[in-house]
Homo-oligomer: A and B are copies of this chain.
């Protein structure tokens, strides 16, 4: 495997060696034992995200399960930086999060960081990121969370997050922040403060927080784990996912800055199909003849990877596809066409739910049970009269 790869919260490059990442980041592998315990506690079959180790690493997930078992409970926290339209790579971890919420019956907080994206993206205005916030929230709601157990909040609106971030911001000095996030003299003071805002939701409840997110976000949580206990809270737990590769290669991750590598959730299904047909890298041979003789290479194929990560929930069928490719029986054109069908069906269904989500925004952001509970704490009593 390529030795050259880089994973930071702002950049993922090269062919990622996930085993090495566990070592480098000092996290723990998500073991069979933990997954079996998850299945047992939830009395459910594990979803493909777990079965196929799309989530592959964790911090304190064992303690989360122990807390659940003992009745102390836990809560979920994840987020989205609204700098543009969401693509398939963005939404997959939300499906895993939905499974966790549903099976464990726990609260979920979704932070929409319109402040962060405005601060970190030179060219975006605050109005831009606020607009993308609304747009992205529709995609998130479409995943199907419980509206009374989910609070979707936007930093620019639910500004109580600032008050919650203050004690955190007294725990982090500039040299710590610079070491973790690579700030320079040119970094804006809003960027430097931002890690405190991202850590604050881990303190929303006096229970252990579990964050399902891609491994590149881990530095934020590592920092949180340095000071959480000194503030009277739990070190946050996390389960870490791999990256969803873009169409053009298994290296790096699907990126909004390279639109031809991504399928957006709002893409017209026809256009999405054409994009996959045109750009998707396969592990195929130079000619159909050669492929029939030598077989394809699913390990090097984006099309197969997408089936594996999301679009083929049936393990048996996935293995059949694998062997059919290896044996030269299934050619790339056929395989791509089958992926396109799945992606188009997914997009149509998602876009229908996304449309319905417009009517649910108010509930998730303000009037659902959990949302109301949180807003209630942020509005001074005399204003409620």
Chain A positions near chain B (C-beta within 8 angstroms): 115, 118-119, 126, 156-157, 159-163, 165-167, 169-175, 177-178, 183-190, 192-193, 195-196, 362, 365-367, 375, 378-380, 382-383
Contact = CB atoms under 8 A, between A and B. Distances in A.
A163 B156 contact: yes
A377 to B, nearest CB: 11
A187 B166 contact: no
A15 to B, nearest CB: 34
A180 to B, nearest CB: 11
A157 B164 CA distance: 11
A165 B161 CA distance: 14
The 8 closest A-B pairs by CB, nearest first: A169-B190, A162-B162, A193-B193, A159-B159, A175-B185, A366-B382, A159-B162, A156-B163
Contact of A170 (B172, B190, B366): B190
A361 to B, nearest CB: 9
Nearest to A385: B367
B174 A183 contact: yes
Contacts of A171: 188
B170 A119 contact: yes
Contacts of A167: 118, 126
How many copies of this chain does one complex carry? 2
A80 to B, nearest CB: 18
A183 B173 CA distance: 10
A169 B184 contact: no
A166 B156 contact: yes
Contacts of A188: 169-174
A173 B189 CA distance: 5
Contact of A380 (B166, B169, B365, B380): B365
A273 B167 CA distance: 40
Contacts of A190: 165-166, 169-170, 193, 196
Nearest to A166: B115
13 contacts: A115-B162, A115-B166, A159-B159, A166-B190, A169-B188, A169-B190, A174-B184, A174-B187, A175-B186, A362-B382, A366-B380, A367-B383, A379-B383
Contacts of A161: 159, 162
Nearest to A175: B185
Nearest to A157: B380
B159 A160 contact: yes
Given A118-B170, A159-B378, A189 B192 contact: yes
Contacts of A119: 166, 169-170
Contacts of A193: 169, 189-190, 192-193
A61 to B, nearest CB: 29
Contacts of A379: 379, 383
Given A119-B169, A383-B366, A189 B163 contact: no
